[in-house]
Amino acid sequence: MPLTRVYFIPESSTSASSTTLQTVIDRVTKQFVAEPMGRWSLEHRLMRETAPPTQVPQNDKLPSPKYLQILSLSHHPGRTWVGISKPSQPQELKRSSGTTEQALADANGSKERQAERPLSTSPSFSSPTVIAVPSPSHSEEFVHLLLTKMGPLWTPRQTLVSRGLGFEAGDFRVRVGEVKQGQGTTQSTKGVIVEVEWVAGIDEAVVDRVGEGQETEQPQMTDWEDAYEVTNAFWDELGIQGAKAAARVAGMGDGERISTSGVATQYFDLLRLR
């Protein structure tokens, strides 16, 4: 089963994203003799919880708001992911918008898992509750529902898009693209997103048997750790400076979460731009 790591290089005053994009492409194609794999794209929407009017401070601080994120990836055409973040404060106020999160949790059909300590520069990130919505028709209906019926609960913050290129380099697939916000002449570049997929990954047969309830022994933690080391070593060899690695996600050792919602969670971490 492939294992994926996602990285983000923010736009800076010293290096334009177009230059960074070309640098990544050049190093992937030259250092690993990669072959073109075609184009890919993503769309990411971010919404912020609308604070209830009765909200009061706790210890002179307001509780952190929740965020709702929607992600579509062209190389995962059968689904759109929806995630609701968990509050970063240890104590949470009772909120009138709790029904939305509960609906997502019920649809996911599982209890929320504890997030592992992140490796990224996003110390406040907590692995969200994530569900996969069949796309495209159902995902469009869900977005319409959010913007109309649940409009008072969530405020749109930003929409990000990326149109990039994919490359195959031995046991790795690399997808890279500029992340942009806005449309037309008002469009601004936020940085470069890079997805590194290790095709060999964990023994897919074992993971499939675990998902079907036929295997009592799941892949060991050391297997997942070794796989992350492989993808990180690939990235380190590229020598790209200033990149942020996505947070480690909850559910390690659970093949379904790593291969599907685990990928989305990494994008949610990096694309919730401050």
- pLDDT value of residue 223: 60
What is the Cα–Cα distance from 67 to 64, expressed in whole angstroms?
10
With CA atoms as reference, report the closest residue to 252 among 113, 131, 128: 113
The sign of the CA dihedral 236, 42, 134, 124 is positive
**Predicted confidence pLDDT, tens digits, the chain (274 residues):** 678 899 999 988 667 788 999 999 999 999 998 999 999 999 999 988 886 655 555 666 666 788 899 999 999 888 889 898 876 554 443 443 444 454 445 444 433 333 333 344 444 556 778 888 886 666 677 777 777 777 778 888 999 999 999 999 999 999 999 999 987 778 899 999 999 998 876 555 444 443 444 444 444 444 667 777 888 899 999 999 899 998 765 444 344 444 467 889 899 999 987 6
User: Which pLDDT belongs to residue 108?
Assistant: 47
28 in Cβ contact with 34 (< 8 Å): yes
| Environment class of 15 (CB within 10 Å of its CB; exposed 0-12, middle 13-18, buried 19+) | middle
CA distance 244 to 191: 11
Please give the pLDDT value at position 65. Answer: 80
Report the pLDDT value the prediction gives residue 61, as an integer from 0 to 100: 66
Tokens at residue 220, please?
A: 């060991």
DSSP run (H or E) holding 165: strand 154-169
Distance, in Å, from the CA atom of 175 to the CA atom of 8, rounded to the nearest integer, reads 12
Q: 235, 8 in Cβ contact below 8 A?
A: no
What does the DSSP 8-state code read for residue 127? P
Alpha-carbon gap, residue 34 to 32, rounded angstroms: 5
> Left if phi > 0, otherwise alpha if psi is -120 to 50, otherwise beta: which for 101?
alpha
Residue 248 near residue 20, CB atoms below 8 Å: no
Does the predicted TM-score (pTM) go above 0.85? no
pLDDT for position 70: 92
